[in-house]
Structure 1
Amino acid sequence: MRYKFAAENRVGKYLSYAIGEILLVVIGILIALQVNNWNEERKQHVAFKRTLEALRQDLNYNIYLANSDIIDAYNKDSIITMALNNKITRDMYRENPDFRNAINSRYFYPVQDNLSAALSFENHIPNRYMSIVPQLKLLSAQFDRWQDSYSISFETVINYNDWLTDRFSWYSRNDSLAVESNIDYLLNDPVYLNKLSFFRNNYLNNTIWNVTILRSLSAGILAKLEQIEKSEKESDINALFDQLRLKPYNHISDTTGFTTDQQVQFRTGSLIYNATNQTITVFRIIDFRRNYPRTLNPGDFYTPITNGGDLVEVVYENQDSQFYQTVIDGYLLIE
């Protein structure tokens, strides 16, 4: 047909026909590319959901490991407090080796690979999950802070053990005389108490604090996924937190005469989660005054510092408010 148009010198019609053919080819290519993009995006979404499920298992596992380290830290804190207040007797040191070995650190092995994998999908994450990206990035940064603090604590313990080895011959022995010499040192050497205080500040107040923040961030992300994937009737965030061995804050109906009663002597991270459909503001109450305001939009959460026993106030959009007392291993779910 082209040749017929050309032969009849119908240039205009020939050009129109040629342009039409070109447009059809271009449209066909564009459609093919769009279909290919749709298919690729669908594959990315499927891969992300698979990674997200693996990440959910990792978060649960990491919380399980963190809980074990945190319980050990509470025991250490109790021993250190007793030692600093001269409440441990010779017999107590004899009967409980943990009392003689307060300056040591544990290392838990959190799983991070699927967190990095999930963040690698950032440009292909389904819209319904986009709200968790900032929290995933916070968790990734928190892993780095925890690792840095652990490295410092580990070096502190190594240096202390080297110091003991160089100074005391009994340190490398396990006989009864060595045990008694060790107890003499624990009871009478003021340097030990200084090192104990330094260890509490270095390990409990930093490394374990970072572990509690890791736990709270992980629990918050699991709660957010619960909200995203289930209807309001189906989701049960309280049950989720209970399963993770977290404890709810205590509701305070009357703050008259309230006094802070710290549960531990080092800072920990807890969790405040806004599961309502309104913006709220959380205050920490110190000397009956509002401090450190934190605004939470619906679905937001944060990890405030607490020693347990602090007073917080939740203020709603209509200016109604509720008071709560923090607890260690604690959370506040605002519904």
Structure 2
Amino acid sequence: MIKFFRHIRKSLIEKNKMGKYFKYAIGEILLVVIGILIALQINNWNENKKIENEITQTISDLENDLTYNHKEAQRILKFYYQLDSLTKLGIYKKLKKEDYYENNFLDYITTNWDQLRPKTSNIIKLIDYEKDAKKEYKEVIEEAKLLRDQKVDLDSNWEHVTKVISDELEYMSQYLFTSAKDSINKEAKINFFLHNPEYEKRLYKSWSMNQVYYDNISRYMAVNLATLLKIKQANKDFDTSQMKQLLAHYNMKPFKKAACSESQITTQQYRKYRASHLIVNTTKDSMFLNLYFDKKATSQLILEPYQMARSYSYFVGVDGNQNVLYEQVDNSGNCIKKFRAIQNGYLIIE
């Protein structure tokens, strides 16, 4: 092909047809430029397709990570609920000598912790693709950013936990019974747990730290679940009924409906231990929710159209003795509906 074009140029020059030669030369240059542009376009298309495939794979991997994270968070929350129950028995002096003989877990109440280690590599990877992601993945990326930030809070809290554990281990190491396994030292250890004033203070300190870390895990779990739901919505036509089915799969239950006249939940079945709940607005309108604790509206949550959010949680104890009511109100502040928050619960506004 190159020899063919060269032959044409040589023939035009020999025949002294310079006008036609220049026209031909310009045409040849244009063909070369067009060829280069087409090659660049194909290369860009291939590169964009490659990135698109990488994003799709990252979304798929992230979905698996979020499923793992949720199950792991639920497992660890159960651990801390058990730890909380035993710690309070010690604080309220309801433990007896035989309890320590029957339950070895009681020997490590102040030093027995379980860290939530969620998978996060694909979250960071997806956020890095933000500029190249399709429009339908933009909301997923925004939710992933919230999850990333929640992980920072989780890690920061764990640093405080490790300091408390280190301090406790150093304190306990001064006693012989922490390493000896004989019956005499076992008896000395139990007497220490039951009657030592300093241990009572440390038990309460451990309990307080337990509350805070439990709260951070529950917050992370709520945002983690919201991110998973956003992926489901982005990948297919994911309606409200499918959302409820997925939440049920993860042992989540809807809030209980309540009358607008109700101001406080008094029945024991709703006095569950607290956690951050998942709140979803599936309408095209902004929604306003008042949160009630002990008959008083303490804050308001505003949900934009199709927004998901975790509810605000308050430091009221793992088996909190305060009850939460959510009140959906109109623009004038009038009650539309009320809902009773429950453990592992969610609220979908339709």
Q: State the TM-score, normalized to the length of structure 2.
A: 0.83
Q: For the pair shown, which has the larger CA radius of gyration, 1 or 2?
A: 2
Identity %: 26
Change (3 A) 1:31 1:314: farther
Within 1, Cα distance between the matches of 2:76 and 2:188?
30
- Post-superposition CA distance 1:222-272 (Å, at most 9, x none): 1112222232558611221222233322222254351477533xx632211
Are 2:205 and 1:198 equivalent residues in the alignment?
yes
Deviates more, 1:314-323 or 1:89-98: 314-323
Counting only pairs closer than 5 Å after superposition, residues 168-183 of structure 1 correspond to structure 2 as 168-183=175-190
Task: Specify the alignment match of 1:118 in structure 2.
Answer: 126
What's the CA shift for 1:16?
A: 5.2
Counting only pairs closer than 5 Å after superposition, residues 170-319 of structure 1 correspond to structure 2 as 170-202=177-209, 204-232=210-238, 236-259=242-265, 263-264=272-273, 268-286=275-293, 288-306=295-313, 309-315=323-329
Task: Specify the alignment match of 1:139 in structure 2.
Answer: 147
- Post-superposition CA distance 1:107-160 (Å, at most 9, x none): 243222222222222222121111111111121222222222212212211221
Letter in 2 for 1:263: K
Within 1, Cα distance between the matches of 2:293 and 2:58?
43
- Residue from 162, 169, 180 that aligns with 1:161: 169
Change (3 A) 1:287 1:73: closer
Task: Specify the alignment match of 2:5 in structure 1.
Answer: none
Are 2:98 and 1:83 equivalent residues in the alignment?
no
- Residue from 31, 34, 37 that aligns with 1:27: 34
Within 1, Cα distance between the matches of 2:208 and 2:261?
31
Change (3 A) 1:281 1:18: farther
- Residue from 60, 70, 75 that aligns with 1:53: 60
Contact 1:248 1:332 survives alignment (8 Å): yes
What's the CA shift for 1:8?
A: 4.7
Within 2, Cα distance between the matches of 1:8 and 1:38?
42
Within 2, Cα distance between the matches of 1:115 and 1:257?
41
Change (3 A) 1:70 1:133: same
What SS is found at the alignment partner of 1:323? strand
Contact 1:115 1:140 survives alignment (8 Å): yes
Within 2, Cα distance between the matches of 1:18 and 1:210?
71
What's the CA shift for 1:9?
A: 5.8
Structure 1 spans left out of the alignment, 5+ residues: none
What SS is found at the alignment partner of 2:337? strand
Structure 2 spans left out of the alignment, 5+ residues: 1-7
Letter in 1 for 2:256: N
Within 2, Cα distance between the matches of 1:247 and 1:159?
39
How many residues matched?
329
- Post-superposition CA distance 1:17-42 (Å, at most 9, x none): 54444344333322332222122111
Contact 2:100 2:190 survives alignment (8 Å): yes
What's the CA shift for 1:190?
A: 2.1
Contact 2:59 2:231 survives alignment (8 Å): no
Contact 2:277 2:311 survives alignment (8 Å): yes
- Post-superposition CA distance 1:57-110 (Å, at most 9, x none): 111111111111100111111122222222222232332222332212112432
Within 2, Cα distance between the matches of 1:147 and 1:254?
40
Q: State the TM-score, normalized to the length of structure 1.
A: 0.87
